[in-house]
A and B are shown apart, each in its own frame.
Chain A
């Protein structure tokens, strides 16, 4: 126990902390400027100087560690003098343009001067001048206001790991700048904006549009973009979101946000939002009243059900909608329409991967705490760039490297390249051989643990030497050995697994190999998740083979339980997966399709074929916030409320259930309420007073959510199984599919890029993100570009068997010579319009890595 006395108050401490932390824990305030709880200590601003007995000079409280018996005084006349002097120094150059500065009202310098003075400085010299930099679309830099606390640089370099900015020059001329001096070339996380104590770095999105004190509504909610589930605070004025900032402290993100979360909120107030229901008349969508649209939907669904039966109707749920929306939707499909035909885009990889891994290791095997990654001594990354797909999870991997852990990357991972990854890049289509090699090496080094015989039976068959890996994958034997040695020597490894694996040929076989690595290393496995509620949509039973609570439909016992709860029979026949729905539509078997918050005509591979298939469907209902490509095909379109306008819960990739809170008022209905109205018109009671009542029903009947309440979730840390019993011991045979091998030499393949700045088409409705990443580009290697004499910015025609697009080219030094990378975000320019797919028979995920592509230069 350490005893210190601060301002006469005795404080007992368990472990050594800084004087500042000790004082704060006892409620004693010490002013600071350069100190920030998220950042490395700096001791630069000198405002936290305190008097310590037996030390002759004043000490910085933020860097001085307490020792037993230390006596500290934080407020003496001498200290007050010093603080006044420091502030006077800062005001030599800091302009007093507070009336004009957006920071006024939440400026730390303003608050300090208000408290410690001086009202007026004695310096007569002119202040430093630097024109405000508006060269960047998102950030405004005003270096006159910079107080050189270096918080932004410590954030960018030490926490975010982007290292895009630095202090340049010396002495009175020094200030912060990005490399170019003007526009940023960075991850646009905006965490530098978060930590700037003054108005030196600000977001351009809300420039001069409001004052901090005018924002009365501060709603704590969850970011709508990816599966990490960051807690954000939406600041709202007049029902318009002015700013989204991260929550510091107990949250997944702990004060950090990525570009999407921070700058991607503007879609909520977009003028393109749907405002009224629409009904298709003579091939044209026309505005209609809610009553008309609801009664028409109920009537047509009723007719189709009676004429063709429930299984001729299917539903597509949404990983962007809340648990409550999805729960009501699947209940509607099962109870009102009598079909298990319900699925979502989680089928494109996440669902099948999770099921495969949980089948081997038990339910919840992929539910691992994100912050735990930084405590691993090695992280194996495969199948996607975590720093782009789940940026806040990516930060934990960077933190792991900073703490001395090893990053092991299969393939080049752009966002981790500065963190000394041990990388092995197998030739195209030889990932399987590499994984076999790793499994063999680990098997020889570690031996078989003996706990999962079914998996060990598969592992025993694998024997691939380092030499074979060298010949097959083009990875030098010594590099491969270094990689497997580093992996096998680690004691607390983690595996981060992206969707590219499930979407590649032989995906399920690769998943078995990755499971084997996980098993031999006793690692923790994380599944990257691209949508905010991708986990929740599965938990809610929006899958053809699952009931709420992730319970298999095939078990009569579970069906019985839900039949009793819902007072309605449930079909025992598994429904159609989202891809089977498309096939069924193609063959005219599917008569009606109800789509909630999803855009299959854009978000499924071979989107042109999906569109053609959906044209066969007699009746399509779409609920969405924008008129999407799918909405244009619909017979009835309902305007939904967005993420910011409703209550509910999301379940993140850790299985943490978190509360969404309404930040903005808007006329309209939540997704679940529209469905409930349609059900009412069909004579089925699906009434709830609000989202909370739905959740109460969920927590009553889903074993995973048992006894969980909104109040409990609000406190944070509601990670399921919450008092529920996980399902273990239901392991089925490990089925897998090796896929076909392809000789890719001399060909080019179209591959899906998953960008940091976009997510689905939603982010393209957020102007700030579009300014950062404005258009679809085809990314190719220098060699590919050179062969066609293409430079960055030149136009090229990208053609596959399903069509062609004209796109600007971007040359990427780190890309291999077989790939053309393209995103699937921009209207009419999506990679999925050029991709065909086959279905992996085990994971049911689409395999999209075999799309040969032709690249030609387009002459201007």
Chain B
């Protein structure tokens, strides 16, 4: 179940849109934040509050990669491997994360501290390679810099 504040937030978002289905995307983000990922319970909560059938909500969410469909680690590393990043060594960084931290694309570390997702272009081609950790932005990545960054997240 969603807590009271989240329910209130959802209802407020609903008011900004002409119909309930239009409010689905932001509503699903709130549910994802509260439940950690879009579990059946998360869809049910959104469906109950917005009055949008849960199958439809799931159909919408699965279209987008930025919704999480399975349990995730506490922090999400989102590394870009698109053209510029790739040329500047992003794939080596993928290997580094795998070998050093046991963090595979789409996987989660055994301690649940990190999950990793490979991103398409995040618009930082001039400062590639780049990544997001949760909502924080990092560019000009090197193995050493990544070590430093990951240390900030528990």
Chain A residues with a Cβ under 8 A of chain B: 153, 157, 163-170, 177-180, 418, 420
Contact = CB atoms under 8 A, between A and B. Distances in A.
B51 A179 contact: no
B56 A157 contact: yes
Contacts, number: 37
Contact of B51 (A157, A166, A167, A418): A418
Contacts of A178: 55
Given A165-B55, A166-B56, A166-B58, 14 more contacts: A153-B59, A157-B56, A163-B53, A163-B56, A164-B53, A166-B59, A166-B60, A167-B59, A170-B62, A170-B63, A177-B58, A178-B55, A179-B58, A180-B40
A327 B26 CA distance: 63
Contacts of A177: 55, 58-59
Contacts of A169: 62-63
27 contacts: A153-B59, A157-B56, A163-B53, A163-B55, A163-B56, A164-B53, A166-B55, A166-B56, A166-B58, A166-B59, A166-B60, A167-B59, A168-B62, A169-B62, A169-B63, A170-B62, A170-B63, A177-B55, A177-B58, A177-B59, A179-B40, A179-B54, A179-B58, A180-B40, A418-B51, A418-B53, A420-B51
B43 interface: yes
A420 B58 CA distance: 21
Contacts of A168: 58-59, 62-63
Contacts of B63: 168-170
A76 B40 CA distance: 50
A167 B63 CA distance: 9
B55 to A, nearest CB: 4
B43 A179 contact: yes
Contacts of B53: 157, 163-164, 418
Interface string B90-124: 00000000000000000000000000000000000
A855 B123 CA distance: 63
A166 B60 CA distance: 8
B87 to A, nearest CB: 26
A243 to B, nearest CB: 26
A202 B103 CA distance: 42
Contacts of B54: 179
Interface in B47-72: 51, 53-56, 58-60, 62-64
A166 B56 CA distance: 5
B102 to A, nearest CB: 27
Max count, chain A CB within 10 A of own CB: residue among B40, B55, B63: B55
A164 B55 contact: yes
A420 to B, nearest CB: 7
A315 B53 CA distance: 49
A179 B55 contact: yes
Classify the interface of chain A: helix, strand, loop or mixed.
Answer: mixed
Interface string B14-33: 00000000000000000000
A179 B60 CA distance: 12
A277 B54 CA distance: 52
A259 B56 CA distance: 22
A153 B56 CA distance: 9
Contacts of B40: 179-180
B24 to A, nearest CB: 12
A177 B62 CA distance: 11
Nearest to A180: B40
A177 B55 CA distance: 8
Contacts of A153: 59
Interface of B: 40, 43, 51, 53-56, 58-60, 62-64
A418 B54 CA distance: 11
B30 to A, nearest CB: 20
A128 B63 CA distance: 18
A167 B58 CA distance: 9
B47 to A, nearest CB: 9
Nearest to A170: B63
A786 to B, nearest CB: 15
Contacts of A179: 40, 43, 54-55, 58
A403 B64 CA distance: 31
Nearest to A417: B51
A702 B54 CA distance: 52
5 pairs of A and B residues whose beta carbons are closest in the complex: A166-B59, A163-B53, A179-B55, A168-B62, A166-B55
Contacts of A157: 53, 56
Nearest to A161: B53
A772 B56 CA distance: 22
Contacts of A165: 55
A297 to B, nearest CB: 55
Contacts of B51: 418, 420
Contacts of B58: 166, 168, 177, 179
Nearest to A171: B63
Nearest to B59: A166
B14 to A, nearest CB: 13
Nearest to B62: A168
A153 B60 CA distance: 13
A578 B59 CA distance: 52
A592 B116 CA distance: 80
A178 B54 CA distance: 10
Contacts of B60: 166
Nearest to B54: A179
Nearest to A173: B62
A381 to B, nearest CB: 18
A179 B38 CA distance: 13
Nearest to B64: A170
A498 B43 CA distance: 33
A168 B63 CA distance: 7
Contacts of B64: 170
Contacts of B56: 157, 163, 166
Contacts of A164: 53, 55
Nearest to B53: A163
Max count, chain B CB within 10 A of own CB: residue among A157, A164, A166, A420: A166
B79 to A, nearest CB: 21
A179 B56 CA distance: 8
A157 B38 CA distance: 22
A420 B60 CA distance: 21
A157 B40 CA distance: 20
A180 to B, nearest CB: 8
Nearest to A153: B59
Contacts of B43: 179
A168 B54 CA distance: 12
Contacts of A180: 40
A151 to B, nearest CB: 15
A382 B66 CA distance: 45
Contacts of B55: 163-166, 177-179
Contacts of A420: 51
Max count, chain A CB within 10 A of own CB: residue among B40, B58, B59: B59
B130 to A, nearest CB: 24
A163 B51 CA distance: 11
A180 B62 CA distance: 13
A163 to B, nearest CB: 3
A178 B59 CA distance: 9
A169 B56 CA distance: 12
A167 B53 CA distance: 13
Nearest to B48: A813
A80 B81 CA distance: 42
A164 B52 CA distance: 11
A178 B43 CA distance: 13
A643 to B, nearest CB: 34
A164 B54 CA distance: 8
A406 to B, nearest CB: 15
A157 B54 CA distance: 12
A418 B57 CA distance: 14
A201 to B, nearest CB: 14
A179 B51 CA distance: 15
A339 B113 CA distance: 85
A165 B54 CA distance: 9
B116 to A, nearest CB: 21
Contacts of B59: 153, 166-168, 177
Contacts of A167: 59
